[in-house]
Chain A
Amino acid sequence: MLSKIVRTVANQLILFILTFGLYIIAHGHLTPGGGFQGGAVVVSGVVMLLVAFNSQELKKSLRERLLTIMESTGALIFAILGFVGIGTTFFYNILVGSPVFGRIPPSGAGPGDFWTAGYIPPMNFAVGLKVIAGLTAVVLALALFASGEEVEE
């Protein structure tokens, strides 16, 4: 556990890191980034907490069971979104033209319209969920191994 200054700053900073990570996930279809990149940013916040506090402290609030459920759910949502369009073809973008993410953006330069790209944003959310859960489990397991603790099954 590091000094009180570091812990206080980490406590304040984690909100900004989470917001930035979620921003990158949500705007994956407009700006560089997406589910994986945004998820990695969120997990970098978890790594910061791991450094500021310690792994035992963090283990109390992050249950392995919850992480497993989150990871599998993210992957399942992604696959199910693929199956939604199977009436036409697998991965067929049925959301195009619908009110949800269905607008067709005008061509040319512009600020970007959030409600476009069909089911690519939902897929980014699903990938983001999976990456956050999976990478958190990985860094937590590494930290617990490094501290010499037996990782429970």
Chain B
Amino acid sequence: MATLITHSPILIIAIPLVTAFLTPLIGMANRKVRDALVIVSLAFVVVLVFALARDVVINGIRVYTLGATSPDLTIPTGFMVPVRIILEVDGMSIFMGIIWSIVSLAAAIFSLSHIASETGQNRFYTLLLLMVAGGFGMMFTGDLFNLFVFLEIASISGAALIAFRIKFADTQEGGFKYIVISAIASLMVLFAIGLLYAQYNLLNIGAIAQVIQYTTLDKIALALLLIAFTMKAGMVPLHLWFPDAYSVAPASITGMLVITSHACMYAAFRVCFTLYGSMLDAPVAGWILIVFGLLSMFIGVTMAVFQKDVMRFMSYHAISQLGYMWVGVGVGLAVLGNAEFIAAYGRDAMSGGIFHILNHAMYKPLLFFTGGALFHCTGTRDLTKMGGLAHKMKWTTILYIIGTLSISGIPPLNGFSSKILIYESVYQFHPILTITGIITSILTLASFTKAFHSAFMGAELPEYKEVKEVPRSMVIAMVILAAGIVFITLFPSLVVDWTIHPAADALIDQEAYITAVMGAIP
């Protein structure tokens, strides 16, 4: 078991990668075996992630050096700086890993019947597993260039998956927009990495963080990195592609794309807190995140109110919810370096923002899955054409209600616990943040109630006489995420102590991240 945990950072990335290339071979012979292989490998990854999470919380940061004589030999004998591929898993990385493993497992289970009528399923699962590997790579890597590589893997497979259902014309448009945005973002990241490499001859995040000077070139690199990652995460005003791409993908993929947005958000936090850290002009960077976060919250929800397409409507809500996290963590960034403010409210604001990532990662894929279930049964995404579906789809209705109450922050559900944490802490920073947050929350509840009413309530419509509940595997996938919501609702303090606080502390404590790679400074 100890050996398994030692190697788990690379196994978590390598197992989906190997399975990705096994699926076409096995899929040729037998579809059932292929499906089982995909589910079993992702379930095993979930187990590994949880074992690693427990280890990271207890023993601190875990590094893994590929190709070295020992996994923790980050700097080879005779060298001054790290040259090998290094994975570095701290509280924040493993927190993102937990989310990604659960959602990708649920998405794979959901896909089993959601894409059952499509052609080219072998390729679908290959791309899905490649996307899983790319996402884990982004979260676990300790190296800027690998961050770029894994960002590309996740983006390209994501674009192919968005455009997967080639029988619909709008999927091609969505996939094209996504690949263009991803290409621009990853080229900007590559250019920024080039700027840093030219100055310091280093690529490792910890090693650069130790020597970074915050010169003009570094500022340009910071701007490029932040614009690229916020664009990929769908922050207003770079959100225009977001609903187009997310609403047309298969619902299971939309759920995963939400988490890739979170992964880009994680990369932005990693750049701000760990790469630049103490050298950063923290109040300016923090206020930039806060202002655009507020804009995302408010514009996202106001755009969502009048949407008629159920997936588009939820995509705009995703933009709005991402705003909460930018605001929460942005407040922490703005007071970074001031130990008094960090202790008073900065850490709580960051915990709230990070907690909201977890909650959002549970209820938003759940809502997207229910949207996909509606599409699966009715063949339309238009809310005005639906109605009375609660008579036929009892499970979907109940799960939709859980998701709705959670996203609107109704006590005692999990959305409430993270929102109250954000409201109370950012109020001490500036009251307007809390006011905007509460208004956004009210509008969220109002629009979701409207959507609920038009899709599920009312008398049975004659055209949906034949509609049945969705297949069992789709219900199981939704129940997995709903179980996550119920668990967080019942034990919020347990979740906060074991995952959220280690994640927030990992972001604040830049020293520990550097020391884990570079060794203690003599």
Residue of A nearest to B120 (CB): A153
Closest CB of chain B to A131's CB: distance in Å?
A: 14
0/1 interface trace, chain A 71-104, chain B, CB 8 Å (1 if under): 1110110011011011011111100000000000
- Interface magnitude class on chain B: 20 to 34
Q: Which residues of B contact A (CB under 8 A)?
A: 7, 10-11, 14, 17-18, 20-22, 24-25, 28, 64-71, 85, 119-120, 122
Residue of A nearest to B87 (CB): A90
Residue of A nearest to B85 (CB): A91
Known: A79-B14, A79-B17, A153-B120. A89 touches B28 (CB 8 A): no
In the bound complex, how far is the Cα of B18 from the Cα of A80, in angstroms? Answer: 8
B11 cross-chain contacts in A, Cβ below 8 A: 90
In the bound complex, how far is the Cα of B122 from the Cα of A65, in angstroms? Answer: 12
A71 cross-chain contacts in B, Cβ below 8 A: 24
Cβ contacts A to B, 24 pairs, < 8 Å? A65-B28, A68-B25, A68-B122, A69-B24, A69-B25, A71-B24, A73-B25, A75-B20, A76-B21, A76-B22, A79-B17, A79-B18, A79-B21, A86-B7, A89-B10, A89-B64, A89-B68, A89-B69, A89-B71, A90-B7, A90-B66, A90-B67, A91-B67, A92-B67
Size of A's binding interface in residues, CB under 8 A: 21
Most buried by A among B10, B11, B70: B10
Q: In the complex the two chains form, is A89's CB within 8 Å of B22's CB?
A: no
Q: In the complex the two chains form, is B7's CB within 8 Å of A68's CB?
A: no
In the bound complex, how far is the Cα of B17 from the Cα of A69, in angstroms? Answer: 16
A92 cross-chain contacts in B, Cβ below 8 A: 67-69
In the bound complex, how far is the Cα of B65 from the Cα of A53, in angstroms? Answer: 50
Q: In the complex the two chains form, is B21's CB within 8 Å of A75's CB?
A: yes
In the bound complex, how far is the Cα of B122 from the Cα of A75, in angstroms? Answer: 15
Q: Which residues of A contact B (CB under 8 A)?
A: 65, 68-69, 71-73, 75-76, 79-80, 82-83, 85-86, 88-93, 153
B67 cross-chain contacts in A, Cβ below 8 A: 85, 89-93
B70 cross-chain contacts in A, Cβ below 8 A: 88-89
Closest CB of chain B to A32's CB: distance in Å?
A: 20
Q: In the complex the two chains form, is B119's CB within 8 Å of A68's CB?
A: no
In the bound complex, how far is the Cα of B66 from the Cα of A109, in angstroms? Answer: 29
In the bound complex, how far is the Cα of B20 from the Cα of A68, in angstroms? Answer: 13
Q: In the complex the two chains form, is A153's CB within 8 Å of B119's CB?
A: yes
In the bound complex, how far is the Cα of B20 from the Cα of A72, in angstroms? Answer: 9
Residue of A nearest to B65 (CB): A89
In the bound complex, how far is the Cα of B3 from the Cα of A88, in angstroms? Answer: 10
Residue of A nearest to B69 (CB): A88
Residue of B nearest to A75 (CB): B21
Q: In the complex the two chains form, is B24's CB within 8 Å of A82's CB?
A: no
Closest CB of chain B to A90's CB: distance in Å?
A: 4
Residue of B nearest to A74 (CB): B21
User: Of the candidates A72, A80, A89, which one forms a contact with B24 in the assembled complex, judged by CB atoms under 8 Å apart?
Assistant: A72
Closest CB of chain B to A97's CB: distance in Å?
A: 13
In the bound complex, how far is the Cα of B314 from the Cα of A94, in angstroms? Answer: 51
A79 cross-chain contacts in B, Cβ below 8 A: 14, 17-18, 21
Q: In the complex the two chains form, is A68's CB within 8 Å of B18's CB?
A: no
Most buried by B among A82, A89, A92: A89
Q: In the complex the two chains form, is A72's CB within 8 Å of B68's CB?
A: no
Given contacts A79-B21, A83-B14, A153-B120, 10 further A-B contacts (CB under 8 A): A65-B28, A68-B25, A68-B28, A69-B28, A72-B25, A75-B20, A76-B25, A90-B7, A91-B85, A153-B119
B20 cross-chain contacts in A, Cβ below 8 A: 75
Known: A72-B22, A75-B21, A76-B22. A89 touches B14 (CB 8 A): no
A75 cross-chain contacts in B, Cβ below 8 A: 20-21
